[in-house]
Amino acid sequence: MNLRFTHPVSKPSRVTYDALAALARQGLGKSRLNPAEAAEVRAAIERHKQRQRAREQAPRDPLAKSGRWLRRLNKKMVDVIYRILHDHYRMPSARWVDEAGTYLTVSFSSPSVSVQKYEVWHRKHPWRATKLQMTLGVSVSWRADVYCAGLAKAGGLLTLAAKQVAEDAWEASWLVQGRGYDFGIERGYIVRAADGTYAHGRTLKSARAIADGRTKVWGEKLRQAHARKRAEAQARLRELRDQLAGMTRGQIIAAFGDVPISLRDSLRAGNCPDGTRSWINKWADGRTSGTVSNVLNTGAPLDEYLLRALAVAIARQRASV
């Protein structure tokens, strides 16, 4: 308050109008405050409330508090970020100079980076190296929003803060490296592509365009891989079918008689459903599953359709072993 007290006063236990008005009356030596003095008391209370609200809204650094748990949390977070820096950024190191290397400090604040570089020498001065003191500011919820979400090293860049805006997109800030040991902060969006990689962009549209382009390339590679696998499987089936065609009924039973075979094997071989059911009703008395021995013992001719079904069943059995 801006009132000039003529009598000593004690500190109030509560910041309320009644408490401060009593303090003002005591200090002024009055039994009653005039309207101007009462307004000054109310203004002092309002200023106190504004300071309280400002302190509550200001971001707090939990690691600034004391406590073993917080020290362990800080150390784990620093260790994770330290490994990411050395895996994905150019950092100083020197085997022969003890003081060389990176000294990292991490605090909870808005995303920021501060770097100080020093030249350090071996104690006998034959070698020179760089000592880097780096201070990084990460979001208060870095562990939940970034680390646990798998974004800590998304796209090979250290993510300092992230806020999810879509199922596969985040508004984020990340660390970039300039020349030498210069570092900066870039802000934009991170999008997770269908292949599990991450794309960065200044806008959500640009980041998604990069991710979509990467998805198309990845999808084409998958299609090519599946096509190669199908071609290889078809070649093996043709080889097996040719092998069966050169064997007698008894040789097939001796070699593959215990292999299970079903209606599905015939359909996978490319035989039509109606033809397969007609064959089952004619030769197998309606049975839709059995063994190669059961099929051959029906006396059905070893035509192209049966050889294909047998080849699929035998190939499936080999794949499962």
Write out pLDDT tens, residues 184-231.
999 999 999 888 889 999 999 999 998 888 878 777 777 888 888 888
**pLDDT at res. 66:** 55
What pTM does this model have?
0.53
Interior angle at CA 259, CA 255 and CA 261, nearest 5: 135
pLDDT digits (tens, 9 = 90+) for 41-82: 888 888 888 888 887 776 555 555 555 666 777 788 899 999
Beta pairing class for 101-108 and 260-262: unpaired
Phi and psi at 207, nearest 5°, equal -65, -40
Rounded Cα distance between 310 and 304, Å, is: 10
Largest CA distance in the chain: 124
**pLDDT above 90 (res 137):** yes
Q: What percent of the chain has pLDDT over 70?
A: 90
Contact yes or no for 126/134 (Cβ under 8 A): no
With a cut of 90, say whether residue 20 has pLDDT above it: no
- Residue 159: CB atoms within 10 Å: 28
Beta bridge partners of 236: none
Query: 304-320 and 204-245 helices cross at what angle (nearest 10)?
Result: 120
The contacts found for 298-305 with CB under 8 angstroms, 24 or more apart, are 302/244, 302/245, 302/249, 305/266, 305/269, 305/271, 305/275, 305/279
In 63-81, which positions are buried (b, 16+ CB within 10 angstroms) versus exposed (e)? beeeeeeeeeebeebeebb
Whether the pLDDT of residue 105 is over 80: the answer is yes
